Structure 1
Amino acid sequence: MNLLSYKKAAREWTEALPLGNGRIGAMHFGGVETERFQLNEDTLWSGPPEKKREYNDQESLRKVRKLIEDENYEEAVSETKNMFGPYTQSYMPLGNLTIQYLHGDAAQKYERTLDIKKAISSVNYTVGKIEYTREAFISHPHQVLAVRLTSSAANQLNVIVSLDSTLKYKTSNSSKELVLQGICPEKCAPNYFHENEQPIVYGEFGETKAIHFEGKLGVVFDDGKLESSNGKLSIKNATNVVLYFSVSTSFKGFDQLPGVGFEELTGKNEAILSQAMSIPYEQLKETHIQDYQTLYNRVEFSLGHKLTEELLDTDERVQKYRADDLGMVELLFQYGRYLLISSSREGTQPANLQGIWNDLTRAPWSSNYTLNINTEMNYWPAEMTNLSECHRPLLKAIQELSVTGKKMVYERYGINGWTAHHNTDLWRHAHPVGDDRHGDPNWAFWPMSGPWLCSHLWEHYLYSGNKDFLREEAYPIMKGSAQFCLDWLMEDENGYLITSPSTSPEHHFYAENGQEGSVTKGSTMDLQLIWDLFTNCVEAAEILGVDDEWIHQVTTAIERLHPLQIGKYGQLQEWLLDYEDAELHHRHVSHLYGVYPGKQIIDGPLLEASRQTLNRRGDAGTGWSLGWKMCLWARLKDGERVNALLQQLFNICTAKREVMVGGGLYPNLLGAHPPFQIDGNFSYTAGVVEVIIQSHKGYVELLPALPSTWVQGSLSGVRVRGGFEINLSWDKMQVSQLDVTCHAENEFIFKTNNTVIVREEGRDDIIVEPVDGFISLKMSNSQKYQLLFL
């Protein structure tokens, strides 16, 4: 099942279908009389990199720590606000490609689809006896949006094509082309849902320091007539028409001013269009499919059972979802992979809060990179679902953020290393954000994104086994982050190392003295993130043969970190002191990082306390929160709880993005916070893998949290830590076959009580018995085994 299908055009943005090549994005609406492609480009952000004012927060830091020790939490919040900085810049929409049909709107047999196996959207309908079709894709190899328009009868295509933007822009046209030129705002205040009272500030057109952009559209047609005037193209009496759209921006790098003028952009677009338009459309399309499927076809997922619901359109199917509609489980899993490929390709920017798709100049939360969960969540499925290349944009951004973060840390706090706070943007903003009106330290002051981001560097190594990457890229950045943590930690009255000030994103607490606070010391998440980073650094140093004084310092610090604690309700404490939750059912479960995606809590009383925490939090939540809880319950090996969360996730949310009700999915299957956030899609895809296969304990576990409705199935092409690729089949909830390919010389260890027949091409079968519940197989690079379970 690789098809999203609908019997009506999109009326709302959250009903349109997303296309992307990592850099260029489009939302395809599929209207009959008026077709619209809402366009994006991943470097189209407000502002140049601005010089921040001089900071020296050491005195405020001293005051906050003293207030916390005195349990004056309300004053601590006020003093922490003195360390706030500017907001990030905002991700901007590019504009719209509009196609006006002159055949009226009396359409019949309407069908709109998105084929996620080919990354192609299409529209089909009839007007009278004539069938009209549209087909669209965004090519990664050729960097264009291609839209083919056809009619079943000759000379029946009559359309008017135009480009526009919500940014400051101008259009022009030649005999066969349309040109859209414009600029981004120099500054853009953040949007907290509906607060649009602060105007966008534009520089003078052509004299601004903001990013310039140019989109250019070319046309290829077999017959008919093309007229050009007033910034529009009119195509009359044609049969087949292909539109090609290219876009370039003046972005030069995270630490450079954008270019000015449009000459360079025009040259780039002309070269791109010239190459794409010289190739027959079917050849361009086939090249696009082959490039896309090189990534997409690596993983297959089937749960075997098919229902009549698969004949329903996608929006109807979500509305009627029930636990045995396993085809929808499969579709949404692969949709997450489709979205990651479409919004994050090597050489592009990372997927932001909305992936690559945004139509608002004041997007929710600026459509930026939110680092206290959301950005990291976007990439949870990258390595495990065999999309390591799609992880590279985030890894590159982490390297860039370590540069700005190092400067920020020294200027603000006078210490070494690097980190960043709650948000970042195209310019790799590392400062805390906020103001007296909107800012709250519970999200604005969170200097722990460096350690969390570094876990992605480590995971990339674990899945690939690439020691060159570990030595040259990952370890130096991890070391810088760990150095910040060493300098940031302080000793408490019992000699333990803790953080202060400390928050637990985005939650408040009630202290024993009755004060409500968000700033305290030693939040559990801080301690888990630092433990994770420190232990990864020590393991990396061992792999690389590093044995120096700095590593000994890290090892000593690990032993001195404050232990995690169990609170009065049997729950894992969220803070160092056993405060009461301000919101018992809060959507964040930050203090469970050590369960997932971390590895600190894998068994014993702390794992049971984590289970109690989840029970107290409850299963309610919005898209991304449900996805995180799904991953957590998978780690807790409770497949039925995962199934209950799926029932909530497969909940249709109102298509109107601004309505803050519901959760789950929009009609186009994008995740609803609401409003739209793409992390819900990505966390779901990661959660499916965690249900079926886990490798975070140093060995592989098969079917650790399988829901009872997933009786039979297969998952092939996924990766596990250690550099292995897995094909897994099961029947009656028992593993029947496992194929293993080694991509880096290593030992494959998996947990089982079954006797296994080990097959290798060209060799006799070997019968292997488990020892203490485990089987271990030493494998060389490219070696393949087929394992049959008796």
Structure 2
Amino acid sequence: MSTRREGPRHGIHDTAPAVRWEDGFLSGNGECGLIALGDPAAERLIVNHHRFVLPNGSRGMAPPAVADRLDEVRDLVLAGDAKAAQRAFSDGRRLAWTQPFHPGFVVELDRSNPAPVRDYRRETDFRTGEVSAAWTDIAGAWRSRAFVSRADRVLVYELAGPALDLAVRLSGDLPGRPAGVGYSCVVEVGDAREVLITLRGTYPAGPGAYGFTGVTRLVTVDGPVGQEGDRAVVRGASRLLLVTVLDRADGPPDERLLRERLHVLPAEYEQLLSRHTALHTAMYDRVELDLGVSPTERAQPVGELLAAQVRDPGVSPALLEVMFHAGRYTLISSSGVLPPRLTGLWLGEWGAAWSGDFTTDANLNLQLAAASTTALPEVVASLRALIADQIADWRENARAVFGARGVLAPSRTDGEHGRLFHLDAQWPWAMWVAGADWLLFPLLEHWQVTGDDEFLAGPLAPWLVEAALFFEDFLAREDEHGSLVLVPSYSPEVGPAGRAGAAAVNATMDIAAARHALSAAVEACARLGIEEAAAARWQTLLKRLPEYVVDEHGALAEWAWPGLTTPDDHRHVSHLYPVWPLHEITADATPELAAAAHRALVRRGDENLSAHGSLHRALCAARLKAPDLVEANLAKILGNDMVFRSLMTSHNPGLQTYNADAAHAIPAVLVEALVDSRPGVVELFPALPPRWARGRIRGVRCRNRVTVDELAWDLDRSTGCVVLSSDVDVTVSLRCSRARGPISRGEPVPVAAGEPVRLELDLDG
């Protein structure tokens, strides 16, 4: 493994193969994924593809055409009859689910007469994207290694040893495979050292795709390869190479094109790897975190690292440091043609929870929270691609449901369309009007980080305009004081306490989304010199939006409407949208509302300790400068048996349900605790937990064209330093409440283009 030995480690290792697929080590290129179990005798390589979803009839479903009932529904909600309003707005449909994400197949490599092994070690190298295993037996030393190429869009595996005596087969027999999904495997011998193995999977007949195909090219270096039924058999070679390509189509996939893709590639592992690392390593190396962990702790196998956290009543800096790097690694590896799914890009059995889709009311944005600040524009591009493919469906949703211009986003998608169909009378998703603004925010953040006006002009500004147009049409009611009323309104996935039904008025998330959508569109239009008349209308609407409400407990209320009570226990904290990610409520600019938001965060119970809930809370806690809550919410993940040996995470304690929410959101939490930024402001150590007493982070991108090239600190010595740079001339207010001197209050710091600025910090311990 090429992991550097000085400083933070950029990989993990284990001393035993994975017993179950969830502990398998991971590689991916944003389109295809690989899970390697690392068994010397019977290796299993599970292959995945982002677009492998099982047809279930939902691809043709449309949003409810209920715009003609809107006034009736609004009257019902305002009268307090939420259940009747939900029935009227669901058009009588039953809850339908997105097409479920499913695994592809498994590449089986079975050795003949394997001998006992010693000195076993399997690894994931975050910098190269490789998973590997090495061991020794009576015959000598063996090594396997694999990666998924970002350059060539193929999965690559190599096995080398004294004398390979094994059979290779592609199998669709993975747990939970529906009876109607069939598969077959065919081996075709090309010459003495090469074969093609083809797996053909077929879906049940009906609406949706026909099936999926995988083609593997097997090449040996110096030994013959033959065929025994549906297996390729290798005898006596010292090395073999497998290169695999996947596809899925509405009709039988064109295998000729797949074979051509394989045959134009060099049958040489190192050459294929170098083409891949030129892209992958460049992305990964942009940011690094060092929490002052000892070399001994960094050298621990992953099993010992996780066991040490069980014994630690707090949050282990050693585990946090490697989770930061692992989270960026899997975020990179699962983002490309699409952003990460609920399972990232990996799945080892059929029947994924929640269809393994893109759940957009919380989970997707939480997984993408570190994309811009940890310098991964490629990840943002995957979200842009998803939205671009579905924006026409968002327009259809707005017209059908509200009779409105603009866009209305769904609460979930399988990646094939964005029509709003997942709803019924109990789950009123047609009433969630914040979705488009919420999903566009990561793109707006990318513009804040990069200043890319070409990106702003197209596609972002036109989409922001459409989000504003929706609210312009939607905001048609007012209260007795002349303030606009958001009705119907829905706070995901919860209703007011002590009342039947979730349909409500003035959900805090919806108010925040309306305010942000209108103001973001005004800013973008002013920047580009477009839509002046519309921008003037939106500025008038902004002045009439309802204010946030602080309830009798001193907490930010979930609904700004009389009689609607915030529940004490729920996994979602959508009403903190003005805190994170919007920066609308901050401790500096709106201290009273910030105190109320903090109170809301403390009062909210965890319900079932869902991973996304804890990480959402941690991100809000960082914005509210509450390091104790940052650490407490990280501890809910790391201290509750929610991390697999792959460092992928689970949705609930006890390793229940493979899920990428925590894995991908943890890097964002650490960044937010160390560096907060918004236009004109960079704040250092806003929520630094005491156990992070010493460390360094480099490469953080700020939402104002500034990069924190380095931020180092040692609280025991009361010292630190920060290096800022920018590609344009910019002046920011640099703040650090831990520092003594002018910087503690916010010191203007000019940063000239291409000229880094270094400042020494005198810190409180």
The 5 Å alignment of 1:91-102 reads 91-102=101-112
Name the amino acid aligned to 1:671. Answer: T
Q: Which residue, out of 191, 202, 209, partners 2:205?
A: 202
Task: Give 1:697 shift.
Answer: 5.9
The equivalent residue for 2:6 is: none
Gaps of 5+ in 2: 1-8
The equivalent residue for 2:596 is: 609
Task: Give 1:366 shift.
Answer: 0.9
Counterpart-to-counterpart distance in 1, 2:356 and 2:736? 45
- Alignment check: 8 A CA contact 1:502 1:523 kept: yes
Q: Which residue, out of 258, 272, 277, partners 1:284?
A: 272
Task: Give 1:308 shift.
Answer: 4.1
The equivalent residue for 1:10 is: 18
Q: Secondary structure at the match of 2:699?
A: strand
Using a 3 Å threshold, how does the CA distance of structure 1 residues 173 and 9 change in structure 2: closer, same or farther? same
Counterpart-to-counterpart distance in 2, 1:458 and 1:54? 27
List per-residue Cα deviations over 1:289-319 (Å, max 9, x = no partner): 3321110111111012316444432133223
The equivalent residue for 1:516 is: 500
The equivalent residue for 2:3 is: none
Q: Which moved more, 1:76-85 or 1:682-691?
A: 76-85
- Alignment check: 8 A CA contact 2:726 2:751 kept: no
Q: Secondary structure at the match of 1:427?
A: coil
Q: Which moved more, 1:456-465 or 1:165-174?
A: 165-174
The equivalent residue for 1:261 is: 252
Using a 3 Å threshold, how does the CA distance of structure 1 residues 572 and 179 change in structure 2: closer, same or farther? same
The equivalent residue for 2:397 is: 408
The equivalent residue for 1:399 is: 388
Using a 3 Å threshold, how does the CA distance of structure 1 residues 40 and 779 change in structure 2: closer, same or farther? same
Counterpart-to-counterpart distance in 1, 2:66 and 2:15? 58
Q: Secondary structure at the match of 1:480?
A: helix
The equivalent residue for 1:133 is: 143
The 5 Å alignment of 1:120-199 reads 120-151=130-161, 153=162, 155-164=163-172, 166=177, 167-175=181-189, 176-182=194-200, 185=203
**Given the two structures, how large is their TM-score scaled by the length of structure 1?**
0.87
Matched, 1:108 2:108: no
The equivalent residue for 1:440 is: 427
Matched, 1:596 2:580: yes
The equivalent residue for 1:728 is: 711
The 5 Å alignment of 1:610-629 reads 610-618=597-605, 621-629=609-617
Q: Secondary structure at the match of 1:695?
A: strand
The 5 Å alignment of 1:760-775 reads 773-775=746-748
Matched, 1:293 2:301: no
Using a 3 Å threshold, how does the CA distance of structure 1 residues 267 and 579 change in structure 2: closer, same or farther? farther
The equivalent residue for 1:65 is: 74
The equivalent residue for 1:335 is: 326
Q: Which residue, out of 455, 477, 500, partners 1:491?
A: 477
The equivalent residue for 2:246 is: 247
List per-residue Cα deviations over 1:433-464 (Å, max 9, x = no partner): 1346xx522x5752321111121221111011
List per-residue Cα deviations over 1:594-649 (Å, max 9, x = no partner): 11111111132111111111111146723222211111111111223222222222
Counterpart-to-counterpart distance in 1, 2:302 and 2:324? 14
Task: Give 1:96 shift.
Answer: 1.2
Using a 3 Å threshold, how does the CA distance of structure 1 residues 491 and 53 change in structure 2: closer, same or farther? closer
Q: Secondary structure at the match of 2:489?
A: coil
The equivalent residue for 2:686 is: 704
Give me the identity figure in percent.
Answer: 24
Task: Give 1:503 shift.
Answer: 1.3
List per-residue Cα deviations over 1:700-736 (Å, max 9, x = no partner): 0011111111112111111001222212111217562
Counterpart-to-counterpart distance in 2, 1:280 and 1:182? 26
Q: Which moved more, 1:675-684 or 1:166-175?
A: 166-175
List per-residue Cα deviations over 1:73-99 (Å, max 9, x = no partner): 332333333275753222232111111
- Alignment check: 8 A CA contact 1:421 1:447 kept: no
Counterpart-to-counterpart distance in 1, 2:316 and 2:296? 9
- Alignment check: 8 A CA contact 2:58 2:98 kept: no
Using a 3 Å threshold, how does the CA distance of structure 1 residues 61 and 683 change in structure 2: closer, same or farther? same
Using a 3 Å threshold, how does the CA distance of structure 1 residues 580 and 484 change in structure 2: closer, same or farther? closer
Counterpart-to-counterpart distance in 2, 1:18 and 1:72? 49
- Alignment check: 8 A CA contact 1:696 1:721 kept: yes
Task: Give 1:574 shift.
Answer: 0.5
Task: Give 1:161 shift.
Answer: 3.3
Counterpart-to-counterpart distance in 2, 1:12 and 1:96? 13
Q: Which moved more, 1:487-496 or 1:164-173?
A: 164-173
List per-residue Cα deviations over 1:655-676 (Å, max 9, x = no partner): xxxxxxxxx3223221211312
Using a 3 Å threshold, how does the CA distance of structure 1 residues 209 and 422 change in structure 2: closer, same or farther? closer
Counterpart-to-counterpart distance in 1, 2:510 and 2:401? 20
Counterpart-to-counterpart distance in 1, 2:154 and 2:688? 42
RMSD of aligned Cα (Å): 2.6
Name the amino acid aligned to 1:169. Answer: Y
Name the amino acid aligned to 1:779. Answer: A
Q: Secondary structure at the match of 1:551?
A: helix
Q: Secondary structure at the match of 1:382?
A: coil
Q: Secondary structure at the match of 1:748?
A: strand
- Alignment check: 8 A CA contact 1:212 1:249 kept: yes
Q: Which moved more, 1:551-560 or 1:69-78?
A: 69-78
List per-residue Cα deviations over 1:563-611 (Å, max 9, x = no partner): 0000011111001336576852211111001111111111321111111
The equivalent residue for 1:759 is: none
The 5 Å alignment of 1:380-779 reads 380-435=369-424, 439-441=426-428, 445-494=431-480, 495-511=482-498, 515-546=499-530, 548-577=532-561, 584-602=568-586, 603-618=590-605, 621-651=609-639, 653=641, 664-674=642-652, 675-696=657-678, 698-726=680-708, 727-732=710-715, 736-752=720-736, 773-779=746-752
Task: Give 1:560 shift.
Answer: 0.7
Q: Which moved more, 1:538-547 or 1:634-643?
A: 538-547
Task: Give 1:539 shift.
Answer: 1.6
Q: Which moved more, 1:444-453 or 1:363-372?
A: 444-453
Task: Give 1:773 shift.
Answer: 3.0
Name the amino acid aligned to 1:352. Answer: R
- Alignment check: 8 A CA contact 2:133 2:144 kept: yes
